Amino acid sequence: MDPDTACAIYRRLSKHYPIVGGRTNFIPFDNPFESLILTILSAQTTDRSVTAVRDALFSRYPTPEALAAASPAEVEPIIRTIGFHHAKAAYIVGTAQKIVESFGGEVPRTMDELRSLPGVGRKTANIVLSHAFGINIGIAVDTHVKRVSHRLGMTDSRNPDIIERDLMALLPEGTWGEVNYLLIRHGREICTARNPQHDACFLRDLCRYYAEEVRAKSP
C-alpha cells in the first residue's frame, strides 16, 4: 500500500469514529499510574472486565507506594474476574515496587524505562505513553490492529513489531496517537474476526481482503 491510500483510510476512519475530547482510551483512568496498571491488566481481557475492577483496586491501592506494600496474594482476589489474574497480580505489584524503588514513585516516560517494568511490553508502553503523557513514538498493535491492518493491505506481516513499523512508515507522525483507537473501533464494530460486515464497510473499495477474498469469489 502507498501512503496516499493509507492516509485516505485514516481520514475515513477519523470521520466515522470521531474522537471526542482527544481521548483515545477505552478504559477510564485518572492519572498515569492508573493508566499503566489498567493497561497491564487489559492484556487478553475485555475492557469491561478491567473497568469493573478499577474502583475496588484503586480505592484500596491508590498510589504506587500503596500497591508496592501489598502482596500479590492480597491483590489477586480484587482482580480475580480478569483473565490470568494470578500472573497479573504479581506483575502489577512488581511494577509498583519498581516504580517506587527506581523511579521515585513516578511512572516513567520513556519506552525503555516502561519496558523495564514487570508485565510491560512494547504495546503496553506505547499505550501508556500515548494515553497518559501524550507521547506518540509508535503505534500499539493489538489483535484488532493486527487483523484490520493486514486485511486492508497496510502490512504483509503478522509480527506486531513489523506491523508497527509498516504503519509508521505509511502514516504521518501526527496520526500515530489515533491509529490504534481507530483500527480497534473498526475491528470491533465492522471488521470483526468472524463474519466481517462487508456491506457496511466504508473502506471496502480500499481493502485488499475484500478485493481478493470476497469480490474475486463473487459470481
Catalytic residue among 142, 146, 161, 205: 142
What is the Cα–Cα distance from 26 to 13, expressed in whole angstroms? 17
217 is catalytic: no
What is the rounded distance in angstroms from the CA atom of residue 4 to the CA atom of residue 213? 23
Sign of the alpha-carbon dihedral angle for 5, 8, 14, 16? negative
User: Are the C-beta atoms of 32 and 128 separated by less than 8 Å?
Assistant: yes
**Residue written as cell 469514529?**
17
Grid cell digits, residue 45:
481481557
Cell of 190: 465492522
Active-site hit among 88, 98, 123, 146: 123
Task: Classify burial at 7, counting beta carbons within 10 Å of its beta carbon; exposed 0-12, middle 13-18, buried 19 or more.
Answer: middle
Contact status, residue 124 vs residue 40, Cβ threshold 8 Å: yes
C-alpha cell at 151: 486485511
Nearest alpha-carbon partner for 58 in 29, 80, 81, 87: 29
Decide if 142 is catalytic. Answer: yes
Q: Give 152's DSSP letter.
A: H
Catalytic residues: 123, 142
